[in-house]
């Protein structure tokens, strides 16, 4: 089968849509979970749906969507309550509590499912799909349920955005300014519950927490702000889901859910690795930009000094080229860039500094000469050695530092070489 | 007028007593410092005043009412270590949270709130950092963000937990300036603080604490040798020394 054939099959389309939707919903909620450092809570909730599903099946004697959903939600909620209740026991730390609740619920779930199967309860074997998931087998009804829950989650996050943000960042403060922290906490827990339960339909109880946290971790490394983090996480998750369904259709025997999770893991690992390198890359880029800026200032200074020494303010193309080349070959592309920026202009077949170019050049020369004077007076370096040192720092002097220098030097008009210091604009 | 009234305030964490029978009245419109040695219960008292800590005994009233009933009139500034400064929010996002108390659930901040957050940022000299991420701030800048968030609340009573701990000189100046500005506006400001010199110079009123209340009153009357000895030296200090020795011996037994 080709990609086209896979994605034109209606059942596959449902699987693609359903998984992408579920992945995106989990990713959105996962952002809040990761920021609150509760990544492991998702794992506990995912594992704890099993006994609820088994009990619901026993009660209604069928795999009816509503009943199973209610059972899963109920069990996960019970796990959450138990977690909270265990907080009163000081001998159990958070990690131990999570471990205890997870094994208790998961163990019960496995026992119940096994008993149901051994006793030959009809269709009970199909319940095992909730353990490892059956992402490719999402039914239209389940897609509808995922869409409904997704809509609720998105609406709740959009509506209570500022409250959820405040709660996640500083819950005590949120309480003190009068936000209904109890209700908001409940809302947040409900969102996590719903997302996890809907995720169980896709990748199953064991892998659902990966779907919850991986896209959020990747997004966190990629972007700086919270709203973009949510968008990026949801997008990455949905893309992984689409690709995962496609891959499992393309290669026979490749399971859909685990493939989706593996893709998310790969994306996350890539982002973390590239993110580390990217920062090196960004640094190099920034250094490059600084050097480029310095070169521009150097060329402006060069031309300004030519005006000073020769009194001529315009050059033919050949003259300009000679001047630049005599200083440094790399000055030629820099001058080209300056011309593009309008600092240097071509008029009546002659090159000249534009008024803006002159203005900028004067300020550069001014900084340079003030700095030279300061070095001579306060550092005591001989005049002939000054030039190089002054050159390094003149690009970095902030306006207020320049003003401070000038004040310190008593508003001088000449530099150590006897050349005029241009006034401030 | 009395801003804060503590009656027999006692707080226990498990078996450990953090505050013991503190009774005092703090006047409104004053700059008040809470001082005492480490572990004296200073932060606990402050947290009790806003209702973040459950009292085992006693009662606290703000403006004659229970803390929960006057939330809008009270602003609390926690120690900056209490939050995750890696959280992907900007400085402005956090300062704006100071206005959230007035907004209904789900309501967006309006122009007046943006303007107020902006003014608060200007008061602490952080307006140029409005769009900075929290993770890009220095410790002093973090402290100023918290201060700005508290100012954006426009409260009558400000409770600040060590706003001057471990900050740079510039931030210290900003904080002290803001404290005086608040007093000038007739607000009541209670600050947990360590440096006795600043208290002697800048504060009106002082609460000297060491599990129990040692003294409470205007600065020149309370900051006496006898009182300081009572808080920092003396018998209570000895008790805690004994406790420390016992703890060390227990550690040795466990690892020995």
Shared domain for A47 and A196, answered yes or no, is yes
Total number of domains constituting chain A? 2
Domain extent, residue A392, equals: 358-408
Is residue A329 one of the residues assigned to a domain? no
Chain A closest CA to B149's CA: distance in Å?
Answer: 10
Shared domain for A273 and A375, answered yes or no, is no
Q: Do the chains contact at A170 and B50, CB–CB below 8 Å?
A: no
pLDDT at A390: 60
Across the interface, which of A90, A163, A225 has its CB nearest the CB of B90? A225
Q: Which CATH class is domain B2-83+156-223?
A: alpha beta
Q: Do the chains contact at A169 and B74, CB–CB below 8 Å?
A: no
Shared domain for A375 and A269, answered yes or no, is no
Segments in chain A below pLDDT 50: none
CATH of the domain at A73: 1.10.3470.10
Is residue A79 one of the residues assigned to a domain? yes
3-state secondary structure of A215: helix
Cα separation, B51 vs B55, in Å, equals 9
Q: pLDDT tens across A36-91, in order? A: 999 899 999 999 999 999 999 888 887 788 899 999 999 999 999 999 999 888 78
Interface pTM, i.e. ipTM: 0.86
In B, minimum Cα distance to A225 occurs at B88
Last residue of one domain, picked from the residues A254, A277, A300: A277
Reading chain B (256 residues) residue by residue, the pLDDT tens digits are: 899 999 999 998 877 888 999 999 999 999 999 988 888 899 999 999 999 999 999 999 999 999 989 988 999 999 988 999 989 999 999 999 999 988 888 889 999 999 999 999 999 999 889 999 998 898 899 999 999 999 999 999 999 999 998 888 889 999 999 999 999 999 999 999 878 878 888 899 999 998 889 889 988 888 777 777 777 765 445 445 545 554 565 566 566 4
Half-sphere exposure of residue A278: CA atoms within 13 angstroms, side-chain side = 9
Cα separation, A365 vs A195, in Å, equals 63
Last residue of one domain, picked from the residues A277, A301, A322: A277
Is residue A213 one of the residues assigned to a domain? yes
Q: Does B74 touch chain A (CB under 8 A)?
A: yes
pLDDT at A243: 93
Q: Do the chains contact at A174 and B82, CB–CB below 8 Å?
A: no
Whether residue B71 contacts residue B80, with contact meaning beta carbons closer than 8 Å, is answered with no
Q: Do the chains contact at B133 and A224, CB–CB below 8 Å?
A: yes
pLDDT at A31: 96
Is residue A384 one of the residues assigned to a domain? yes
Q: Give the count of Cβ contacts less than 8 A between chain A and B.
A: 72
Chain B closest CA to A218's CA: distance in Å?
Answer: 14
Q: Does B36 touch chain A (CB under 8 A)?
A: no
Q: Does B109 touch chain A (CB under 8 A)?
A: yes
Last residue of one domain, picked from the residues A277, A296, A320: A277
Helices (H) and strands (E) counted in chain A, each on its own, are: 17, 3
Is residue A311 one of the residues assigned to a domain? no
Q: Do the chains contact at B50 and A173, CB–CB below 8 Å?
A: no
pLDDT at B112: 94
Chain A closest CA to B231's CA: distance in Å?
Answer: 30
Is residue A51 one of the residues assigned to a domain? yes
Chain B closest CA to A226's CA: distance in Å?
Answer: 5
Is residue A125 one of the residues assigned to a domain? yes
Is residue A288 one of the residues assigned to a domain? no
Residues of A in contact with B83 (CB under 8 A): 169-170
Give me the residue spans of the domains in chain B. Answer: 2-83+156-223
If we measure between CA atoms, which residue out of B213, B169, B209 comes closest to residue B191?
Answer: B209
Shared domain for A27 and A155, answered yes or no, is yes
Shared domain for A382 and A268, answered yes or no, is no
Q: Does A165 touch chain B (CB under 8 A)?
A: yes
């Amino acid at each position: 089968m080709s990609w086209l054939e896979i994605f034109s099959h209606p059942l596959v389309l449902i699987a693609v849509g359903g998984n992408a939707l579920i992945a995106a919903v989990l990713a959105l909620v996962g952002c809040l979970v990761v920021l609150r450092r509760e990544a492991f809570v998702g794992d506990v909730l995912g594992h704890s749906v099993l006994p609820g599903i088994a009990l619901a099946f026993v009660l209604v004697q069928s795999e009816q969507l509503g009943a199973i959903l209610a059972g899963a939600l109920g069990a996960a909620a019970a796990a959450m309550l138990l977690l909270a209740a265990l907080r009163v026991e000081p001998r159990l730390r958070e990690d131990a509590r999570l471990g205890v609740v997870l094994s208790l619920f998961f163990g019960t779930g496995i026992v119940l499912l096994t008993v149901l199967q051994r006793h030959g309860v009809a269709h009970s074997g199909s319940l095992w799909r909730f353990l490892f998931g059956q992402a490719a087998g999402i039914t239209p009804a389940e897609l509808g349920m995922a869409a409904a829950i997704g809509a609720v989650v998105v609406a709740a996050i959009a509506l209570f955005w500022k409250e959820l943000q405040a709660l996640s960042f500083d819950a005590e403060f949120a309480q003190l300014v009068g936000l209904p922290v109890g209700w908001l906490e409940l809302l947040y827990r409900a969102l996590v519950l719903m997302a996890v339960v809907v995720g169980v339909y896709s990748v199953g109880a064991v892998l659902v927490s990966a779907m919850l946290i991986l896209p959020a971790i990747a997004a966190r490394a990629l972007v700086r702000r919270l709203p973009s983090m949510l968008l990026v996480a949801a997008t990455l998750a949905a893309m992984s889901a689409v690709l995962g369904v496609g891959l499992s259709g393309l290669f026979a025997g490749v399971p859909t859910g685990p493939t989706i999770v593996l893709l998310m893991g790969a994306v996350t690992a890539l982002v973390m690795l590239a993110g580390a390198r990217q920062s090196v890359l960004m640094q190099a880029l920034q250094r490059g930009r600084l050097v480029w800026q310095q070169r521009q200032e150097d060329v402006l200074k060069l031309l300004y000094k030519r005006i000073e020494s020769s009194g001529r303010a315009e050059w033919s193309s050949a003259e300009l080229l000679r001047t630049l080349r005599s200083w440094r070959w790399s000055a030629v592309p820099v001058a080209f860039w300056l011309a593009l920026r309008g600092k240097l202009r071509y008029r009546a077949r002659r090159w000249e500094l534009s008024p803006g170019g002159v203005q900028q050049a004067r300020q550069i020369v001014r900084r340079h000469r003030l700095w030279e004077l300061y070095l001579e007076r306060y550092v005591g370096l001989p005049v002939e050695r000054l030039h190089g040192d002054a050159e390094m720092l003149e690009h970095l002097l902030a306006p207020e530092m320049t003003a401070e220098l000038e004040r310190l030097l008593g508003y001088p008009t000449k530099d150590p070489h006897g050349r005029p210091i241009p006034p401030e604009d | 007028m009395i801003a804060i009234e503590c009656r027999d305030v006692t707080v226990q964490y498990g078996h450990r007593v953090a505050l013991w029978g503190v009774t005092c009245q703090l006047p409104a419109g004053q700059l008040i410092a809470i001082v005492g040695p480490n572990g004296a219960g200073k932060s606990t008292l402050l947290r009790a005043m806003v209702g973040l800590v459950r009292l085992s005994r006693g009662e606290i009233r703000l403006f004659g009412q229970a803390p929960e009933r006057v939330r809008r009139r009270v602003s609390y500034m926690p120690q900056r270590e209490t939050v995750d400064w890696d959280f992907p929010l900007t400085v402005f996002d956090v300062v704006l949270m100071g206005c959230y108390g007035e907004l209904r659930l789900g309501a967006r901040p309006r122009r007046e709130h943006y303007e107020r957050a902006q003014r608060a940022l200007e008061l602490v000299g952080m307006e140029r950092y409005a769009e900075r991420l929290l993770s890009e701030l220095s410790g002093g800048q973090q402290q100023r963000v918290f201060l700005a968030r508290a100012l954006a609340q426009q409260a009558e009573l400000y409770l600040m937990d060590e706003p001057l701990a471990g900050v740079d000189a510039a931030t210290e100046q900003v904080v002290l300036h803001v404290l005086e500005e608040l007093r000038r506006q007739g607000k009541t400001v209670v600050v947990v603080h360590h440096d006795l010199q600043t208290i002697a110079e800048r504060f009106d009123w002082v609460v000297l604490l060491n599990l129990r209340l040692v003294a409470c009153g205007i600065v020149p009357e309370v900051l006496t040798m006898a009182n300081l000895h009572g808080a920092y030296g003396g018998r209570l200090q000895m008790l805690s020394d004994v406790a420390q020795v016992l703890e060390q011996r227990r550690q040795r037994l466990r690892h020995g």
